[in-house]
Amino acid sequence: NGTLQYFYPDGTLFQEADYRDDLLHGTVKIFHSGGQISERADYENGRKQGVVEAWFESGIKRFTKHFVADLEHGSQKIFYENGKIREVSSMASGKYQGEFRSYYKEYEDGTLQKVCQYDKGRLEGLYLGYYPSGNLMVKCSYRDDLLEGEWIKYHDLMRDDSVPGVMESGYYNTGKKTGTWESFYPSGELYTSGGYANRKFEGEWLVYHPNGNLKQKGTFHDGKATGEFMMYYESGKIKNRGSYRDDQKEGDWTTWYESGNTMTTIRFLEGLRHGRAFAYDEMGNLVESATYVNGEEME
């Protein structure tokens, strides 16, 4: 019973605590090695109860929390070392409950980073993430701590002075990307379009140049490239054509100059050069040829 004091090796006070019946009961104070207070808490029968406050060595508040029977319960505020607010949230029996807000450290005080909802420590409902500029970055929803439904990410700029441009959009099902996903250039032009199944690429995927012309076309299965792939110049003229098998190049691959003349023809086997390979100049003259076996050039 009574007050006990604990000290650093140099004799500086480290902790001052009240006890009753061999249990912490009353006020407990913890100090930094320089003598500044680090934390203050009240205990009842060995368990934290009520307001708990903490400070950095500089004297700036580190957090204010509420406890019931040694578990965080109620509102809490957490701060950065520069004094700016880091997090505002609520707890219930040691778990996040209700609205959660976090803020950026490097920017003006109150620059919101994200706002979301918790239910018994698990994300639930609408989730909004923001750029330091204040523009919306991400809008999505959670169900039982897993992403569910539409997911949208925006560019950090405003188009038409009012509408944020979409960077990427798609859908989640129990935390997994599913269905058609699209991404966009800052101009609003389509950049990529394709499908997902169980977090993996599935079906035809298309990639576009900023001018809207097709850049690449190919098919995936279970996240792996399969079948014919074609790449195009920004002008729309074909650049490459070849096939994949199980995510590895297979068979003849051809590359063309934008003029339409052949640049190279190379044969692949299980992702390695295998067989004859030819290279041409823009006039169509053969400039190099070689033979490969399992990726190694033969003399």
Which residues have C-beta within 8 Å of that of residue 11, sequence separation ≥ 6? none
23-31 and 13-20 beta bridge pairing: antiparallel
Continuous segment of H or E residues that includes residue 229: strand 224-232
Query: Two tokens at 38?
Result: 């680090």
- Of 239, 244, 240, nearest to 223 (Cα)? 244
Which residues have C-beta within 8 Å of that of residue 255, sequence separation ≥ 6? 239, 240, 262, 263, 264, 265
Find tokens 């509408």 and name the residue: 163
Contact 232, 215 (CB under 8 A): yes
Largest Cα span, the chain: 97
pLDDT of res. 287: 97
Confidence of residue 103 (pLDDT cuts 50, 70, 90): very high
Residue 164 has pLDDT above 90, yes or no: no
Average pLDDT, the chain: 95
3-state secondary structure of 130: strand
CATH number belonging to the domain at 198-298, selected among 3.90.870.30, 3.40.190.10, 3.90.930.1, 3.40.50.720: 3.90.930.1
Which residues have C-beta within 8 Å of that of residue 203, sequence separation ≥ 6? 194, 195, 219, 220, 221
Residue 148 has pLDDT above 70, yes or no: yes
pLDDT of res. 279: 98
Sequence ranges of the chain with CATH classification 2.20.110.10: 111-188
Burial of 196 (0-12, 13-18, 19+ CB in 10 A): buried
Confidence of residue 107 (pLDDT cuts 50, 70, 90): confident
Continuous segment of H or E residues that includes residue 66: strand 61-68
Residue 161 has pLDDT above 60, yes or no: no
Residue 93 has pLDDT above 90, yes or no: yes
CATH number belonging to the domain at 111-188, selected among 2.20.110.10, 3.30.1300.10, 1.10.150.240, 3.30.450.20: 2.20.110.10
The pTM of the whole model exceeds 0.85: yes
Sequence ranges of the chain with CATH classification 3.90.930.1: 198-298
Confidence of residue 108 (pLDDT cuts 50, 70, 90): confident
Assigned CATH class of 1-104? mainly beta
